[in-house]
A = this chain, B = another copy of it.
Amino acid sequence: MVSEKMLALGSNRSTIRELFEYGKMRAAVVGAENIYDYSLGNPSVPAPKEVNEALVDIILNDAPIAVHGYTSAVGDNDTRDAIADNLNKRYGTDYTRDNFYLTCGAAASLLCAFRTVIINESSEVIGIAPYFPEYKAFVESNGGIFRMIPADEEHFQINFDALYNTINENTQAIIINTPNNPSGVVYSEETIIRLAEILTQKSEEYGHPIYLISDEPYRELVYTENGVPFTAKYYKNTIVCYSYSKSLSLPGERIGYVLIPSEADDFTDLYNSIAGAGRSCGYVCAPSLMQKMIKRCAGVMPDITSYKKNRDYLYAALTEIGYECADPSGAFYLFVKAPNGNADEFSEIAKKHDLLLVSGSAFGCDTYFRASYCVDYDMIVRSIPAFKKSFEDATK
């Protein structure tokens, strides 16, 4: 007599987690140095020193009841001011605290957005493959319908024909994720502009806004000079879901925000619904100590040197072997074509060489696998022979 949906969600472990657990078991047998685990998207760089310095200083010197006390549900004013200032400086925007709702991380931000746009059992949210699999779980366990657009396997931008034909009167939102997990690809400005055009046209056609939910935890992890186009500048009905998990290496601390631009249609209703959705999920406020740290560290940027070093080495080594990779401009993932054309089978082949790779089938793209290179550099160096043997096994 428990909810079937909740039971299913709690019983089915993610394939990524299972692979990680398998790696830990194998490490106990053959030694950790002989396992090449590319399964998890856990930052391998510690939090910037400013973060821990701020945390200690706040704990030791701020008024003790305020440090750990309730904040307002939308978040501390000072913290929201600091975030607005930082974005305004970087992107030439004019946000104020009133555009931000602080959350317990990106997943919480997404739940607030999904529960806002799902207005009845016909409401549809569209995701673009390859996509983070929790999107589907979140939408379906909160009363909506999830539609997937197949991957653009040439450039891993957006398959616009499929998108155009999938949008219908029940489409409430599109969710995008750039830089992308699992592909590591950054959507180009051209892509964002075309997406905005289509959403504007379809919103007019159906007489209601189709929201763009932009999941941006990797926004600061980008290796090209152009950076990432700031999505909310291109389309007014954008709901930005951000987290400091990856940029400040704080994935366990659960701190992020939803940004709702003032120019969004029915801004006040949209903002209040986001807040109501947070309340309906039991989010009383974002963790207080972390809010106070973000007030001081909103402008701290990650040191991506080691990710870039990993990326460059792995990309060069794999392409030399003969692998084909999606353009790895951002995040800390390499998305690689399975040499035999089947990523499920290939990841089993790799496993025999103690090389742990996540099949893209988990992300809606079953011809590619994901290698998370947020790992120890030396492990990457040691792993290359296993990549070579796996390639040979798969192509012989």
Q: Which positions in A face B, CB cutoff 8 Å?
A: 1-11, 42-47, 51-52, 55-56, 59-60, 64-65, 67-71, 104-105, 107-111, 115-119, 134, 137-138, 141-143, 172, 208-209, 249-254, 266, 269-291
Chain B residue numbers with a CB within 8 Å of A289 are 55, 252-253, 289
Question: Could you tell me if A70 and B252 are in contact, using CB atoms closer than 8 angstroms?
Answer: yes
Give bound CA distance, A43 to B69, whole Å.
8
A269 to B252, CA, bound (A): 26
Q: Please indicate the chain B residues that have their CB under 8 angstroms from the CB of A290 in the complex.
A: 287
Q: Distance in Å from the Cβ of A230 to the closest Cβ of chain B?
A: 23
- For the complex, give the distance between the alpha carbons of A34 and B61 in Å: 29
Q: Is the CB of A68 within 8 A of B56?
A: no
Residue in B1, B68, B108, B116 whose CB lies within 8 Å of A47 = B68
Known: A3-B273, A266-B2, A273-B2. A68 touches B9 (CB 8 A): no
Residues of chain B with a CB closer than 8 A to A107's CB: 282-284
Instruction: Please report the C-alpha to C-alpha distance between residue A52 and residue B6 in the assembled complex, in whole angstroms.
Output: 36
Counting chain B CB atoms within 10 Å of each CB, the highest count among A3, A64, A273 belongs to A3
Is A9 a contact of B284 with CB atoms below 8 Å?
no
In contact, B10 and A250 (Cβ under 8 angstroms): no
**Closest chain B residue, CB of each to CB of A21:** B72
Contact A10 B142 (CB under 8 A): no
Q: How far does the alpha carbon of A209 sit from the alpha carbon of B284 in the complex, in Å?
A: 30
Cβ B3 vs Cβ A117 within 8 A: yes
* Apart from the given pairs A11-B272, A104-B282, A107-B284, 13 other A-B contacts in the complex at a CB distance below 8 Å: A1-B209, A2-B273, A3-B277, A6-B116, A6-B277, A7-B269, A10-B275, A44-B65, A141-B279, A141-B280, A253-B287, A254-B254, A281-B281
Chain B residue at minimal CB-CB distance from A142: B280
Chain B nearest CB from A201 CB (Å) reads 17
Pick the contact of A10 from B172, B209, B272 — CB < 8 Å?
B272
From B10, B118, B283, A276 is in contact (CB under 8 Å) with B10
Is A270 within 8 A of B2, CB to CB? yes
Residues of the B chain whose Cβ atoms lie less than 8 Å from the Cβ of A69: 42-43, 251-252
Q: Is the CB of A6 within 8 A of B282?
A: no
